[in-house]
Amino acid sequence: MPNDHRHYDETDAGPEWGTPKWVWQPLAETLGGFDLDPASGAEEEPIAYVRVQLPTDEHPYGTAVREEGVTTWYGDGLEEGWHGDVWLNPPYGRQHNPRWAQKVSEEVERGALDTLTALVPASTSTNWFQDHYANADLLTFIDQRISFDGSGSDSASFASVIATFGDVPTAYVDALGELGFVVSTDVSAVRATAPREPSTVTPEPNRGGVR
């Protein structure tokens, strides 16, 4: 029975599911830490040096709290400009996915990012995925269903993809490889690393037919 807290569309994830540390930390280490987490609050420990959280009564819109080297900005990650190495695990659900995906494209095009690492449902048939994530530089198909922090279940009922935009160090790609199958959408890079072998098939003799 659906309730207000969960969204049973495209995925059954709720907006307050945190990323387990084994997913984000190995990637963060290769980048010297993530600079920004624009959709934060559900994580068990801060994932980035700066994080954007929805305002509360205690922390109204526009306040910032600095604690143990982490700045929490109470605002709207969809309205802020993003910078540096960004970690994103946006709220999931039909009402959230298209808007956050659109924001990803806007920020990638704006050019203030170094890299963007987005963990999203592998909803590869949706417009939001096709239009905004399928063109990432790297797509990593996670080899297991993630048990998100706070989900209260063993593992999600959907598969996950990490979409990476920007130039990343080799160690980052190695870390991705530990999470699942990594696909580069850069055809020239694929050609450079996997030159086509000359064919060993002997051509059939021309039997005189019209070709």
One of 36, 42, 86, 101 touching ligand SAM (CB under 6 A): 42
Q: Least distance in Å: CB of 177 to ligand SAM? A: 21
Instruction: Please tell me whether residue 97 binds ligand SAM under the rule CB under 6 A.
Output: no
Instruction: Please tell me whether residue 93 binds ligand SAM under the rule CB under 6 A.
Output: no
Q: Least distance in Å: CB of 28 to ligand SAM? A: 11
One of 39, 108, 113, 138 touching ligand SAM (CB under 6 A): 39
Instruction: Please tell me whether residue 115 binds ligand SAM under the rule CB under 6 A.
Output: no
Question: Which residue's CB is nearer to ligand SAM, number 18 or number 180?
Answer: 18
Instruction: Please tell me whether residue 15 binds ligand SAM under the rule CB under 6 A.
Output: yes
Question: Which residue's CB is nearer to ligand SAM, number 28 or number 138?
Answer: 28
Q: Least distance in Å: CB of 18 to ligand SAM? A: 4
- Rounded to an integer, what distance in angstroms lies between the CA atom of residue 6 and that of residue 134? 26
Going by C-alpha positions, the residue among 88, 86, 79, 84 that lies closest to residue 121 is: 88
User: By CB neighbour count within 10 A (0-12 exposed, 13-18 middle, 19+ buried), where does 22 fall?
Assistant: exposed
- Rounded to an integer, what distance in angstroms lies between the CA atom of residue 177 and that of residue 54? 33
Contact criterion met (CB below 8 Å) for 153 and 147: yes
Instruction: Please tell me whether residue 77 binds ligand SAM under the rule CB under 6 A.
Output: yes
Instruction: Please tell me whether residue 43 binds ligand SAM under the rule CB under 6 A.
Output: yes
Q: What is the DSSP string of 23-66?
A: HHHHHHHHTTSEEEESS-SSSSS--EEEEEE---SSS-TT-EEE
Count other C-beta atoms under 10 Å from residue 190's C-beta: 11
Q: Least distance in Å: CB of 61 to ligand SAM? A: 11
Q: Which amino acid is at 189?
A: A
Instruction: Please tell me whether residue 76 binds ligand SAM under the rule CB under 6 A.
Output: yes
Task: Please calculate the CA angle 151-100-128 and round it to the nearest 5 degrees.
Answer: 100
- Rounded to an integer, what distance in angstroms lies between the CA atom of residue 122 and that of residue 129? 8
User: By CB neighbour count within 10 A (0-12 exposed, 13-18 middle, 19+ buried), where does 102 fall?
Assistant: middle
Q: Least distance in Å: CB of 192 to ligand SAM? A: 33
One of 11, 19, 123, 126 touching ligand SAM (CB under 6 A): 19
One of 6, 8, 12, 16 touching ligand SAM (CB under 6 A): 16
Residues forming contacts to ligand SAM in the complex (CB under 6 A) are 15-19, 37, 39-43, 47, 52-54, 76-78, 89-91
